[in-house]
Chain A
Amino acid sequence: MNKLNLVTAPDTRSEEWVSAMLDGELETDDCLQAISRLGKDASASRRWAEYCLIGDVLRACPQDSAGLGARLQAALAEEPTIVAPLPSPTIERRPLYWVAAAAAVAAITWGVLHSTPETGPAIPVAVLATPAEPSPVAANDVMPLLAAHQDYTYAVVSDPDMKFTAIAASEGRR
């Protein structure tokens, strides 16, 4: 097995009941049993102390933080190194927002269309496809033609500053 893919799972069973007791999720009997066990299990006792400290820090309670840094370093050193692809970030979906935005746009459009005074029957309008801008290559290809044209017309010329726009094929045929 490839060592890089080894993932050592931490022993979470002892953490679960400590965490559950701290969160008040254990029944009374279980809680008494847990307290009894906490006094005997050094690892669980240490974990209890750390969880309490973390909770106090998160709640911004003043604490005696002596040795916290050292303990965190030690805890980090004990953590296994996980070399595995990170899960792809999931896009937070908020369908309600999109539905609300779409509804707002539809309402505004409907209002604008119905508030426009009617001037007569609808006139069919031809829509030309939006032409693409000519590429610089296409424009550059025209410049030798321009020079050739000037070659025939004037003895002394200056290069005009040309601007090019693409047109629809139908416009060229008209």
Chain B
Amino acid sequence: MRGWWALCCSLLAVPALAADPLPAAEAAAWLQRMADASRRLPYEGIFVMQQGDRLQTLQVENHPAGLGKESRLVVLDGQPREVFCTGTGSVSMDLAVKGTRFERRLGSRHFPDLLPEHAADLATWYSVRLGDSARVGGQACRQVELMPKDMFRWGYILCADATTGLPLKATVVDENRRPLLRYAFVKVRQGGSGRLSKQFPAIRGNPGVARQVEDSAVEVSQLPPGFVQVAAIKRRLNHRASEVEHWVFSDGLTYISLFVEPAPRKAVNMKGQSSRGMVNLLTRQVGRQQVTVLGDAPWPAVEFIARGVSEK
């Protein structure tokens, strides 16, 4: 009898959990609100990042700067490290190395600033649903689900601050809603002094500068819907004698890289996958080139792009 009641209750609860997708305009408004809050609001706090069995704790502070923003992340576990981010890139400081080692990075995305600048456009490729109210890091928030309309991207379940819209929690999920990557504030304070507690490091020179790809040996004939090329650069990498072409495709939330380099004498076609399946990779030979497509994307997206690569 108790089991019968539990079944009835669970059936009644399903419609409440599976809310209808928001109308396009309302979905776009929610997305843009969350994206703007993570850039334009000053905030500081501590959040945890869980990927697979790995857990990392980071301290973050963010302040608007001109048209963009400046943020500083401090890795609190393991090797001491700090990362300074602007709208155009980031600099990682490895403090464990004698004399501090600087590493310039092209990416600057970090929790809670995960959504693109024009986040409203995502509503074309994701169904946006509002979920239950919750409480994260001592703050009330509202669950917002971004579920892909196709098989080319992962889903996101965010919890946006009830007042400001700042994402307090984010979970990247697969097609079965199994978590692949989680972020959550443990403690957060919105508002602040308006400037970073530590100044952005001045780095002399321009290490790792990349050149634009002007004439590639390959071409890409197809991309998953919503993906556009956001970069095509030539760069030097470790264990490579010559420069490697690095193309980046994105829908604003999912990033997929294509690397083009001369094929080695004993080229191996192979595929790779991270333990939870979040990162997928495919390497194959195209003419005299070896192409590698990899990204934090489902396998169909990686395979789709790889199939579209051909020799010019």
Contact present for B272 and A150 (CB under 8 Å): no
* Interfacial chain B residues near A148, Cβ < 8 Å: 235, 237, 244, 246, 257, 259
Are A150 and B107 interface neighbours, CB within 8 A? yes
Q: How many Å lie between the Cα of A154 and that of B254 in the bound state?
A: 11
Q: Which of B92, B268, B274 contacts A135 (CB 8 A)?
A: B268
A35 at the interface (CB under 8 A from B): no
Does A93 interact with chain B (Cβ within 8 Å)? no
How many positions in chain A have a CB within 8 Å of any CB in the partner chain? Answer: 37
Which residue of B is nearest A167, CB measured? Answer: B269
CA of A160 to CA of B49, assembled, Å: 13
CB of A155 within 8 Å of the partner chain = yes
Which residue of B is nearest A162, CB measured?
B272
Q: Work out how many contacts link A and B, with CB atoms closer than 8 A.
A: 130
Stretch at the interface among A18-26, A37-45, A62-70, A139-147: A139-147
The answer on a CB contact under 8 Å between B237 and A145 is: yes
Min CB–CB distance B167 → chain A (angstroms): 15
Question: For residue A166, which residues in chain B have a CB less than 8 angstroms away from its CB?
Answer: 268-270
Q: Which of A83-98 contact B (CB under 8 A)?
A: none
Q: Which residues of A contact B271 (CB under 8 A)?
A: 164-165, 167
A134 interface residue, CB < 8 Å from B?
yes
A125 contacts across to B, CB distance below 8 A:
none
Residues of chain B within 8 A of A169, CB atoms compared: 269, 284-285
Centre residue among B58, B85, B278, B296 by max chain A CB count within 10 A: B296
Known contacts A145-B257, A162-B281, A173-B284: does B109 contact A154 (CB below 8 Å)?
yes
Interchain CB contact under 8 A, A149 and B257: yes
State A138–B73 Cα separation when bound (angstroms). Answer: 34
Q: A148-B257, A152-B248, A171-B269 are in contact. Are A160 and B275 (CB under 8 A)?
A: yes
B58 contact set on A, CB distance < 8 A: 156
Q: CB of A158 within 8 A of chain B? A: yes
Which of B54, B110, B238, B296 interacts with A156 by CB under 8 Å? B110
CA distance A149 to B248 in the complex (A): 8
B292 at the interface (CB under 8 A from A): yes
B168 sits at the interface (CB 8 A): no
B108 on interface, CB distance cutoff 8 Å = yes
Q: How far is the CB of B238 from chain A (nearest CB, A)?
A: 4
Partner of B51, one of A141, A158, A164: A158
A161 contacts B by Cβ under 8 Å: yes
Is A114 on the interface with B (CB-CB < 8 A)? no
- Between A151, A156, A169, the greatest number of chain B beta carbons within 10 A of the residue's beta carbon is seen for A156
Q: Is A174 in contact with chain B by the CB < 8 A criterion? A: yes
The 8 Å CB contact of A151, one of B105, B284, B294, is B105
Nearest CB on A from B270, distance (A): 4
Min CB–CB distance A149 → chain B (angstroms): 4
Query: Could you give, for residues 52-68 of chain B, a 1 whenever the CB lies within 8 Å of some chain A CB and a 0 otherwise?
Result: 10101010000000000
Q: How far is the CB of A163 from chain B (nearest CB, A)?
A: 6
When the two chains form the complex, which single residue of B75, B284, B294 contacts A172, counting CB atoms closer than 8 Å?
B284
Minimum Cβ distance to chain B for residue A42 (Å): 77
Q: Which residues of B sit under 8 angstroms from A149, Cβ to Cβ?
A: 255, 257, 294-295
- A168 sits at the interface (CB 8 A): yes
Q: Report yes or no: B279 in contact with A162, Cβ–Cβ below 8 A.
A: yes
- For B73, the closest partner residue in chain A by CB is A156
Residue interface mask B276-295, A partner, CB < 8 A = 1: 00110111110000001011
Known: A172-B269, A172-B285. A161 touches B275 (CB 8 A): yes
- B-side residues, CB < 8 A to A, are 49, 51-52, 54, 56, 58, 73, 75, 83, 85, 90, 92, 105-110, 231, 235, 237-240, 244, 246, 248, 255, 257, 259, 264, 268-275, 278-279, 281-285, 292, 294-296, 306-307
Give 5 new A-B contacts, CB below 8 A, not counting A134-B268, A142-B272.
Answer: A139-B272, A147-B238, A156-B83, A158-B51, A162-B275
A-B contact pairs, 7 of them (CB 8 A): A151-B107, A153-B107, A155-B105, A156-B73, A162-B272, A166-B269, A167-B270
